[in-house]
Amino acid sequence: MTTNLYLWAAYGIFCAIPLGLAVSLAARRRRVQRQMGEEIGARGKAANGGDERRAPQ
Amino acid sequence: MRDKITGWALPALSVLLFLAALGMVFFYAPREATMGDVQRIFYFHVASAWVGFFGFFVTFCGSVAYLLRGARTWDILALASAEVGLAFITMTLLTGMLWAKPAWGAYWIWEPRLTISAVQWVLYVAYSMLRGALDAPERGARFAAVYGIVAFVTVPLSWFAIRWWRTIHPQLLSGGEMAITPPMLTTLLVSLAAFTVLYAALLRARMQLERERDALAALRAAQEGA
């Protein structure tokens, strides 16, 4: 019974670590993409002289 | 379009193979006579160790290529592979400890293979921390490349530790013969395939993240320059 606990704990680790890394990578990519969106938005705003209603030239 | 298909195909294939390997570990591979069910840790433990070693080998190759050619792509490959490889080696160490407790009566023994593995883990944790800490990108990348090449020494050392020195760590190949039965070997090979595809999927995602970070940095630099 105790032996099975070690087995389940090991397979818990085998599932958790790759899943955790995949989730962490996805979250970090989302953050970078959001920051890129903000940068592009800020550039567009600056190009329009601060008026967000005008399309970027 | 091709990129989108690969973007979904690799993670989907890795999930399918991972589930198939899990099924084989618990329902296909026979119960080992001496150790019982705890021996089932072996399939994923060995597969993650091999893929972790392969990840560090890719870091080594990427580092050499970066020093020779200076292209950022090689640096990205090296750093991404080190991070993914480290995740696999972390799994190997933790699950090895869980296997060792019922098999050896202790979670950790300072024997050659385990000692080299611990040193290797610390070296690659330091590598990952170093990558985030260096300010000058090009100098930092060159330094990291040299570090990545030197740290790789631990891989052949770990591989040969059980052959060169007296160790209690089990050997898969003993006297040129496999120490496991054919169904066990099939399960191990499927686990190895699952972990290899999983590595490729994670490596691709990590490389994409780094490329997007570069694009963001370039955008910010252009903004500041304007």
pLDDT in tens, chain B (226 residues): 667 666 788 999 999 999 999 999 999 999 988 888 889 999 999 999 999 999 999 999 999 999 999 899 999 999 999 999 999 999 999 999 999 999 889 999 998 999 999 999 999 999 999 887 877 778 889 999 999 999 999 999 998 888 887 777 877 666 666 678 899 999 999 999 999 999 999 999 999 999 999 999 998 888 777 6
Residue with tokens 């300010």: B135
Predicted complex ipTM exceeds 0.90:
no
Q: How far apart are CA B31 and CA B39, in angstroms?
A: 8
Phi and psi, residue B13, nearest 5°: -65, -40
Beta strands in chain A (DSSP E): none
In a domain, A17, yes or no: yes
Q: Which domain holds residue A15?
A: 10-44
- DSSP 8-state assignment for residue B178: E
In a domain, A31, yes or no: yes
Q: What is the DSSP string of B48-93?
A: HHHHHHHHHHHHHHHHHHHHHH--HHHHHHHHHHHHHHHHHHHHHH
Q: Is B223 on the interface with A (CB under 8 A)?
A: yes
- Does pTM surpass 0.80? yes
Asked if B102 and A14 come within 8 Å (Cβ–Cβ), the reply is: no
* Residue that wins the pLDDT comparison between B113 and A45: B113
Domain count across chain A: 1
Q: How high is the pLDDT of residue A19?
A: 96
Q: Which residues of chain A have a CB within 8 Å of the CB of B45? A: 10
Q: At what angle do helices B72-104 and B41-69 cross, to 10 degrees?
A: 160
| A53 pLDDT above the threshold of 60 | no
| A51 pLDDT above the threshold of 70 | no
Q: How high is the pLDDT of residue B78?
A: 96
Asked if B202 and A25 come within 8 Å (Cβ–Cβ), the reply is: yes
Asked if B208 and A42 come within 8 Å (Cβ–Cβ), the reply is: no
Q: How far apart are CA B141 and CA A38, in angstroms?
A: 28
In a domain, B180, yes or no: yes
Q: Which residues of chain A have a CB within 8 Å of the CB of B98? A: 6-7, 9-10, 13
Q: Is A4 on the interface with B (CB under 8 A)?
A: yes
Q: Is B44 on the interface with A (CB under 8 A)?
A: yes
In a domain, B156, yes or no: yes
Q: Which residues of chain B have a CB within 8 Å of the CB of A35? A: 216
Q: At what angle do helices B41-69 and B112-133 cross, to 10 degrees?
A: 50
Domain count across chain B: 1
Q: How far apart are CA B20 and CA B177, in angstroms?
A: 26
In a domain, B30, yes or no: no
In a domain, A35, yes or no: yes
Q: Which domain holds residue B134?
A: 42-213
In a domain, B67, yes or no: yes
Residues 6+ apart with CB under 8 A from B16: none
| A2 pLDDT above the threshold of 50 | yes
Residues 70-109, chain B, touching A (beta carbon < 8 A):
84, 87, 90-91, 94-95, 98-99, 101-102
Q: How high is the pLDDT of residue A57?
A: 46
In a domain, A49, yes or no: no
Asked if A28 and B45 come within 8 Å (Cβ–Cβ), the reply is: no
Q: Sign of torsion, CA A8 A9 A15 A19? A: positive
| A6 pLDDT above the threshold of 60 | yes
In a domain, A15, yes or no: yes
Q: Is A23 on the interface with B (CB under 8 A)?
A: no
In a domain, B223, yes or no: no
